[in-house]
Amino acid sequence: MHPLKAEFVKSSTTLDQCPPPRLPEFAFVGRSNVGKSSLINYLVGMKGLAKTSGKPGKTQTINHFTVDNRWYLVDLPGYGYAGVSQSQRHSWGKMLDQYLTHRENLRCTFVLVDARHAPQGSDLDFIQWLGGQGKPLAIILTKADKLSRSELAQSIRQHEDAMLQMWEELPDMFVTSSEKRVGREELLAFIDAAGK
């Protein structure tokens, strides 16, 4: 697996603190413990780029990284985690809202969903809200290695069916496993095409 050149740029708590919008940008977001940091590290081929943690809610800022000096990878705070205060959740929500609706160079938001679970209300609500803003999005089913082939196929169908109740056309969907190294090339090809 060829590693990419990924470098941390900065962490921000407001939209105006984010780096200048000089490169196409791709954001990664999901419920806490969905495997976001592991996927980011797998995607760029670097173990310690995004900090993994057994404690949910670790990411609390908008974290920008440059990848091959061609695009920004953005690690966003998780949503739906009950282990932080209500004021903290409100603060994260406001930060995500501002960033996702007003960041001019944001080409796609990847919403990460744990393939092991049936469609969750918080995921569907977030996807519905983001789509309602008219913002490009794609779904990433994570932890595919934890399922058998038939279980994974069932999970894909369940998530597609849930989204077809909201929309006539499905967003792009990717299946990944950081453990088994699945989905990287497909994701990078999508990013490369969308970043042009």
Model pLDDT, residue 152? 96
- Residue 26 pLDDT > 70: yes
CATH of the domain at 40: 3.40.50.300
Domain assignment present for 111: yes
Structure tokens belonging to residue 179: 């453990």
Model pLDDT, residue 109? 97
Number of structural domains (the chain) is 1
- Residue 82 pLDDT > 50: no
Structure tokens belonging to residue 139: 């779904």
34 vs 52: CA distance, rounded Å: 11
Angle at 8 (CA atoms; ends 196, 110), nearest 5 degrees:
50
Q: Which residue is associated with the tokens 């949910």? A: 56
Mean pLDDT of 40-48: 90
- Residue 55 pLDDT > 50: no
- Residue 184 pLDDT > 50: yes
38 vs 61: CA distance, rounded Å: 17
Task: Pick the range with the lowest mean pLDDT from 22-31, 123-132, 136-145, 167-176.
Answer: 123-132
pLDDT band at 80; cut points 50, 70, 90: low
49 vs 58: CA distance, rounded Å: 14
Rounded to whole angstroms, what are the CA distances from 165 to 76, 116, 124, 131, 170?
27, 21, 10, 13, 10
Domain assignment present for 32: yes
111 vs 35: CA distance, rounded Å: 11
126 vs 147: CA distance, rounded Å: 24
Burial of 39 (0-12, 13-18, 19+ CB in 10 A): buried
Structural contact between residues 23 and 160, judged by C-beta atoms closer than 8 angstroms: no
Model pLDDT, residue 140? 97
- Residue 136 pLDDT > 60: yes
Mean pLDDT of 108-112: 97
Domain that holds residue 185: 6-194
Domain assignment present for 70: yes
Model pLDDT, residue 86? 54
Model pLDDT, residue 84? 45
Rg (CA), the chain: 16
Percent of the chain with pLDDT over 70: 88
pTM for this model (two decimals): 0.90
Structure tokens belonging to residue 99: 């960033």
Mean pLDDT of 130-137: 89
C-alpha count within 13 angstroms, C-beta hemisphere, residue 7:
5
Mean pLDDT of 112-133: 91
Domain assignment present for 1: no
